[in-house]
Amino acid sequence: MPGEGIAAQIVADPAVQILALDDRIKRLDKQIHEVLRTHPEAEIIKSLPGMRPIRGVGFVVAAGDITSFTTAGSLASAAGTVAVPRVSGRRTGNLHQPKLNSRRLRQGLYLSARTSIIREEPDRDLYRKKRGKGNTSRRSPLWSVGEST
């Protein structure tokens, strides 16, 4: 048929490019796995729910040296998920969201928290308990701060 060779070439060129991209993605995935595996705090990062290699490496990039955060609260504060007091004079308990935070770090922590809610773990039970009381993230963004159960 006339044009059969051209049609075959039109189909073959993108197929070759797709196969090359697939090989490149596999190589990059192996490199990402290796970077996370050799990181000194890899076990801590992997212990967070939902931290797969790509998200874990993104978390490492956003957090930097994890040992510089002495408590979980300092990590949450750097991510911007903890309320900051806005106190002047006699006013106390006036909390607001911080303006300086790491968006990437906050995203990593939120994705980890969302994953922990899906799994059958104590976090899911706490989340259901709070929702059962009528608390929502929209009405009270800091509904679990300071409460242990």
Domain definitions of the chain by residue range: 39-132
pTM score, two decimals?
Answer: 0.53
Q: Taking the CA atoms of 71, 129, 106 and 86 in sequence, report the sign of the dihedral they define.
A: negative
Helix (H, G, I), strand (E, B) or coil at 95: strand
Per-residue confidence in pLDDT tens, the chain, 149 aa: 777 888 888 888 999 999 999 999 999 989 988 888 888 888 888 777 777 777 788 888 888 887 888 887 788 778 877 776 666 667 666 676 666 677 788 888 877 777 767 766 666 677 778 778 877 655 444 444 444 44
